[in-house]
Structure 1
Amino acid sequence: MTITEVLQFADRLVFTQTGKHLDDIQETVIKGVWQGKTYSVMADECNHSESRVRDVGYKLWQILSEQLGEDVNKSNFCATIERLKNSYSPNASQVVCIGNNNSFNVCPLKRKNDSSSNKGDEIDLTKKSQYDLTLAPKITHFYDRTPQLQTLSHWITTQNPRLISVLGLSGIGKTTLVKQFIDSNLQQFDLIIWKSIKLSPSLDNIITDIFTLINYEPIQTENKLTQLFNLFRQQRCLIILDDVQELFTSGQFAGQYKTETKNYKTFLSKITELEHQSTVILISQEQCQEMTCLDEELYPVKCLELPGLVDTEILKALGLKDEESWSKLIELYEGNPAYLKDIANLIKNIFFGKADEFVRQETLHLTEDMKFRLSELWERLTPVEQQILLELSKFNQPTSREELRQSLSLSSTDFINGLQSLNKRYLLKPIEGEKTAFNLSPVFREYMRYLSPKLIVV
């Protein structure tokens, strides 16, 4: 049994008892106990006092003891978990089950010998709400996304879309938004499972994990999709796929599937075509073809494009001074939470938190973390897209399509396809007017200028 499985099992017990998932210190305690560490070592690892870690551990053992109906403490935790493989919990309404991959679940108990209930009253294991949010982030701060949360909630509550894309640049807050929605709406679904394509790209494995979560009989390998859509019809499921851009090939125009991930194309198409009561949420930096080809008025699909933050509350929480300069910072870094956190740390370390001194430098500084994020985007582009961006970075103002076209030695087809692909990646800002114009974000323009001396464009 792995530490991940132990954490997942403990998380479900704690959530059942408290309605909250394990926090960082609780996770540290469980990992530490499982690995035989002392509270002192755990305290050093999580930068808290030993007394604080001991107190969290004491309360955690109380929660687990109440859920399992027996005394659980630091000394017997490991032995208790090992013993509970395939055994009944003293809590009469639950059983601790081991799934097909040795993962633990707390499931409702079928009381086959209970004379007070007839066969028709038995609880179906597949009807119990089940959640696997192991790969979902923990939300410590959430800022200024009320309109987007309301939109997402309205869609799912009243319109039952089968496929939703949450789109935007890296660091803009897509994953945080979806997790915040889930934390407030767990009760709406029979099953919720969160998967990251970056960590688990195989659709076959994801489907297997879904059925393992509900302790379903081993599924037939030849018709997994059919069984999955049967489940989607019978129960209200919410499947979140994060990092969906990882399905697509680098060096090709946006949304082109890798050879090994083309089965997702069939899966996502069937999501919109077949009748069922479930929803799949895609979190991505690129639009997938299955979404861009469909009219939201005619198909059960929705697309939520995430803008930058406008509220200065995030900078207040990050401990900056000179509130009158915060709006300028947000404008410079386009409200991207990841960029703002990076630059706030720099301001605290180099300018003692004085935002005004930083702004007066009149320089848009790129941290190493920003450069890393932007380099990942750059490496996904085609040579055509790279040429367009490098040329556009030479202009300090929006540039018309005609002017940009004349300054590039590209065919009309490559030029138009490149613009469309960059738009799908949220790297271009089309500006409507007498003539269509395009602009780069200040951050990406600065990155292009940093990068251009290092490149030889053919």
Structure 2
Amino acid sequence: MNSAADMPLLPDDFITGVANKHNVTKTELEALLLALKDYSGAEIAEKLAISQPAVRKRLGESYRKLGIEGSGNKKIYNLKQKLFAQYQGIQENFTAPKEDWGEAVDVDGFRGRETDIKDLEEWIVGNTNDSVRCRLVAVLGMGGIGKTVIAAKVAQEIQSQFDYLIWRSLRNAPPLSEILNQLLRFLPNDAEDYLTVSENNKILLLIDILRKHRCLIILDNVESVLRSGEGKTQEWAGEYEPGYENYGYFFKKVAETSHESCLLITSREKPKEVAVLEGKNLPVKVLQLSSLNLEEAREILLDKGCKCTDEQLEELVKIYSGNPLALKIVGTTVYDLFSNNITEFLREIQGENAVYGDIRSLLETQFNRLSDLEKKVMYRLAIHGEYLSLAQLKNDLRTTDVESKILEVMESLLRRSLIEKEANTSRFRQQSVVMEYVTKSYIERVTHEFSEKKNWSLFMPILYCKRDRLIISGKHKND
């Protein structure tokens, strides 16, 4: 067989099965099936009622996902060869990785974050000569920022580089032993008695597998096994809930032991082992997700049917700190309640109304995990409303129990993704949407404390520092 046309046709369902394993989309598959039947680009365009450039784009994406190289007709010839070989049972050169996607999210329609994706792929796969292939990578950020979806997107893009891929969510805080059992059950494991050995020995068994095979393990929602500071005077981010401490040992062993695999985790808070082991030239890396840029935000709003001017877009991104989930909620609200009138929506949320519904719930969940000391600093940052240095914070809180713990508190808040640091300085602030939530929460609590005649020492330093601003806010609230 010297040309693609000489090769026998393969069943569509077989081709579809192979394509699905490599995340070829439905529209890409339509073009690919026609190309495999030797339709020309023009004929495919006519049949699918699309342009020829669109045909080339869909076929190009299909070839890329299927790992097909070459140019022009050579690509379709190479693809047919590989498909034919696999169909005959010769899979040495075309073996799809074994995958268990668990609760991974659908990433169809995902756009943007190109730089973040490139960084993650380089860290995990090691595409450049001077890059360090990472054994542990953490994607961090506040709720709704897009940690899970970018992890799923990257995993789909690089899955062909691994022999095995498994995704597990820690949302319901499963014990480590349960996760280890699932990993050892899925991955190639010679130890028949793995269910009966100790947790630490299960970790060692898993490390041995990670040495022998290229595995990509994704653990989503790691913050679920980290300790909350709610109701405590001081509790720092990154510590584990009682009974979950062995997750830390697991992360440490994966990070420190030599192997060719990678553990990718997502979390709202940075585990303490990650904080200690990460580094520019070390095999542990952290991607701290920041806000979307204007064009990425525009795409999210357009997907919701919400159109806005450049000025309106800038205002929305500023108000909601470019948080993808918050923007999706806004898009739905504008469409459902304001008949797509973004001007009316912006008018409505002026003042203290930008944090509402699911956006408020999102922030409330994360804020409620803070200890009392962390909340004092958050209130201070919110009321001030601008970047503050450590010296300024320490001075304003000098009569409180925060003063001697200011370094621990600030480090903890950074690890909880609730404050941001100004580049090349030691000055800190909150994102706009966090600031509004915390300010509103602060005023509500002060009002309640005064009305109940309770001890309001939690708020006293801030009342002293920003008394006029607070009185104005309270007065406005009562009007």
TM-score norm. by structure 1 comes to 0.70
C-alpha separation in 2, matches of 1:137 and 1:432: 33
1:412 and 2:378 are equivalent in the alignment: no
C-alpha separation in 2, matches of 1:293 and 1:201: 24
Any idea what the Cα deviations from partners look like across 1:274-300, whole Å, max 9, x if unmatched?
111110011011111112212524531
1:343 and 2:330 are equivalent in the alignment: yes
Gaps of 5+ in 1: 1-11, 24-92, 95-108, 110-120
User: Pick from 19, 22, 26: which aligns with 2:21?
Assistant: 19
C-alpha separation in 1, matches of 2:442 and 2:402: 22
Equivalent residue number for residue 378 of structure 2? 389
1:258 and 2:245 are equivalent in the alignment: no
Shift of 1:16: 4.4
1:199 and 2:172 are equivalent in the alignment: yes
Equivalent residue number for residue 186 of structure 1? 159
Equivalent residue number for residue 331 of structure 1? 318
Equivalent residue number for residue 418 of structure 2? 427
1:149 and 2:122 are equivalent in the alignment: no
Equivalent residue number for residue 262 of structure 2? 279
C-alpha separation in 2, matches of 1:170 and 1:378: 11
2:209 aligns to what SS in structure 1?
A: helix
Shift of 1:200: 5.0
**Cα distance change, pair 294–200 in 1 and its aligned pair in 2 (3 A):** closer
Contact kept in structure 2, 1:241 and 1:282, CA below 8 Å: yes
Any idea what the Cα deviations from partners look like across 1:88-131, whole Å, max 9, x if unmatched?
xxxxx99xxxxxxxxxxxxxx9xxxxxxxxxxx999xxx98321
Percent identity (aligned): 27
Shift of 1:213: 1.8
1:415 aligns to what SS in structure 2?
A: helix
C-alpha separation in 2, matches of 1:276 and 1:20: 25
1:174 and 2:147 are equivalent in the alignment: yes
Equivalent residue number for residue 73 of structure 1? none
Q: Where do 1:68-107 residues align within 5 Å?
A: none
Amino acid at match of 1:133: W
**Cα distance change, pair 303–392 in 1 and its aligned pair in 2 (3 A):** same
Any idea what the Cα deviations from partners look like across 1:151-208, whole Å, max 9, x if unmatched?
1112222232101011111110111111011222221111111111123522211121
C-alpha separation in 2, matches of 1:323 and 1:247: 42
C-alpha separation in 2, matches of 1:422 and 1:402: 17
**Cα distance change, pair 185–432 in 1 and its aligned pair in 2 (3 A):** closer
1:240 aligns to what SS in structure 2?
A: strand
Equivalent residue number for residue 369 of structure 1? 358
Shift of 1:211: 2.3
Gaps of 5+ in 2: 1-13, 26-85, 127-131, 230-234, 450-455, 459-479
Any idea what the Cα deviations from partners look like across 1:359-410, whole Å, max 9, x if unmatched?
3443451121011111111121111001111122112322333332233213
Equivalent residue number for residue 232 of structure 1? 210
**Cα distance change, pair 286–15 in 1 and its aligned pair in 2 (3 A):** farther
C-alpha separation in 2, matches of 1:233 and 1:400: 46
Aligned length: 352
Equivalent residue number for residue 449 of structure 1? 439
Amino acid at match of 2:437: Y
Shift of 1:343: 1.0
Any idea what the Cα deviations from partners look like across 1:315-356, whole Å, max 9, x if unmatched?
222211333322221121111000001111111122211223
Larger helix proportion of the pair: 2
1:242 and 2:220 are equivalent in the alignment: yes
**Cα distance change, pair 291–380 in 1 and its aligned pair in 2 (3 A):** same
